[in-house]
């Protein structure tokens, strides 16, 4: 008898919990699409791109590497047509978007959809609910994400301010990798042998390897800043598998958002960011720059940014490049 009543109790508890989840879910759906509908078209095509003095024909989106920004406000619905012009099957995943009741728009090939075949297209349709900050999109078929990726910028709802200093300017900073050889061959070899995939030839910031590799100096990302201003850096780690360190010489960063969730702001001089992770950080530029005082308003403090990393099979080293 006691057993039966405890089973009954568990059943009631279970039903109560399920009801609670349903109510929570419905309340989120009720809050859905309080904004506008935004349309985008992503054409995936092969283009010649040169880095480290190597030119490769790589799959990229709308002729841009990294790909275009998708910008929306919390509560907006996104309708994104993806057209596949490359020989590979491909899908796009909207990394970090909750996809409430739109699981079929999530994007992993063979999980939520069949991949988009050559010459075909697919329309992703979803609403951003309860998220604001930075997320990103990337290919979700094999290793095509090594070159098919770009930022998703989610602004707060109209007339809702940021819970921190209004930035003077916002800048996406996407950390990625450049391979001199075909990444598809690298991952298929790794899957055949069971070993780890070969490492990339360079880390990149906004698709550029920076001045520290062979034949890379001209391909350095430079952010031209004004003195005494606040910049919002929208950091994205789009590397294949590596945690990366990010810092800016002689400056502190204030973390205000992680994975499209506001956090209690805190200061740090470096941030470690995992693959797939995103973070919004504030950068306050110095009120003066001694070597550029001859310039009037526009300060030419160009920041060369570099990812810091420890190679596989080596002891952790937070080495400055």
Shorter beta-carbon distance to Cu ion: residue 134 or 216: 134
CB of 136 to Cu ion, least distance (A): 7
Shorter beta-carbon distance to Cu ion: residue 21 or 104: 104
Shorter beta-carbon distance to Cu ion: residue 72 or 139: 139
Determine the Cα–Cα distance for residues 229 and 37; give it in Å rounded to an integer: 33
CB of 305 to Cu ion, least distance (A): 23
List the Cα angle 15/111/260 in 5-degree steps.
75
CB of 153 to Cu ion, least distance (A): 16
Shorter beta-carbon distance to Cu ion: residue 242 or 299: 242
38, 116, 122, 252 from 223: Cα distances, Å: 29, 36, 36, 16
Shorter beta-carbon distance to Cu ion: residue 73 or 93: 93
Q: What is the DSSP letter of 315?
A: -
Chain residues in the site for Cu ion (CB under 5 A): 93, 95, 276
Which residues, listed in sequence order, are joined to residue 230 by a DSSP beta bridge? 284
Q: Which residues of 208-246 are buried (b: 16+ CB within 10 A; e: fewer)?
A: bbbeebeebeebbbebebebeeebbbbbbbbbbebebbb
Q: In this structure, are residues 84 and 44 in contact, taking their beta carbons and an 8 Å threshold?
A: yes
| Residue owning tokens 């937070």 | 318
CB of 89 to Cu ion, least distance (A): 17
Q: Which residue is nearest to Cu ion (CB)?
A: 95
CB of 149 to Cu ion, least distance (A): 9
CB of 248 to Cu ion, least distance (A): 26
Q: What is the DSSP letter of 321?
A: -
Shorter beta-carbon distance to Cu ion: residue 156 or 275: 275
List the Cα angle 39/41/42 in 5-degree steps.
140
CB of 107 to Cu ion, least distance (A): 8
Q: Pseudo-torsion of CA 90, 91, 95, 101, nearest 10°? A: -170
| Residue owning tokens 């998703």 | 152
CB of 276 to Cu ion, least distance (A): 5
- Spatial CB neighbours of 204, under 8 Å, sequence gap ≥ 6: 51, 175, 176, 177, 178, 210
Shorter beta-carbon distance to Cu ion: residue 175 or 253: 175
Shorter beta-carbon distance to Cu ion: residue 51 or 93: 93
Determine the Cα–Cα distance for residues 138 and 144; give it in Å rounded to an integer: 8
CB of 290 to Cu ion, least distance (A): 43
Determine the Cα–Cα distance for residues 237 and 308; give it in Å rounded to an integer: 12
Shorter beta-carbon distance to Cu ion: residue 106 or 219: 106
Determine the Cα–Cα distance for residues 65 and 68; give it in Å rounded to an integer: 8
């Amino acid at each position: 008898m006691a057993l039966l009543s405890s089973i009954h109790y568990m059943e009631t508890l279970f039903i109560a919990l399920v009801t609670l989840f349903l109510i929570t879910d419905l309340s989120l759906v009720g809050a859905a699409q309080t904004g506008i509908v935004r349309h985008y078209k992503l054409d995936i095509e092969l283009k010649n791109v040169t880095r480290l003095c190597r030119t490769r024909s790589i799959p990229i989106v709308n002729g841009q590497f990294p790909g275009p920004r998708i910008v929306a406000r919390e509560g907006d619905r996104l309708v994104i047509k993806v057209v596949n012009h490359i020989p590979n099957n491909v899908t796009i995943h909207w990394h970090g978007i909750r996809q409430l009741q739109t699981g079929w728009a999530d994007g992993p090939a063979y999980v939520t959809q069949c991949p988009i075949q050559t010459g075909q297209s697919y329309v992703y349709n979803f609403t951003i609910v309860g998220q604001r900050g930075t997320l990103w999109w990337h290919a979700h078929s094999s290793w095509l994400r090594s070159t098919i990726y770009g930022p998703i910028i989610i602004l707060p709802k109209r007339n809702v301010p940021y819970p921190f200093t209004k930035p003077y300017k916002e800048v996406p900073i996407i950390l990625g990798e450049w391979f001199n050889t075909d990444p598809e061959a690298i991952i298929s070899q790794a899957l055949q042998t069971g070993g780890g995939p070969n490492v990339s030839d360079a880390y990149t910031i906004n698709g550029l390897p920076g001045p520290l590799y062979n034949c890379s100096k001209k391909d350095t990302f430079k952010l031209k800043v004004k003195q005494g201003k606040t910049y919002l850096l929208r950091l994205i780690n789009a590397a294949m598998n590596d945690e990366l360190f990010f810092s800016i010489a002689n400056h502190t960063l204030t973390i205000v958002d992680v994975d499209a969730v506001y956090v209690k702001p805190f200061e740090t001089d470096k941030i470690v960011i995992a693959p797939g992770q995103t973070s919004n950080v504030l950068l306050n530029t110095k009120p003066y720059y001694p070597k550029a005082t001859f310039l009037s308003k526009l300060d030419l403090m160009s920041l060369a940014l570099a990812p810091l990393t420890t190679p596989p099979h080596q002891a952790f080293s937070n080495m400055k490049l």
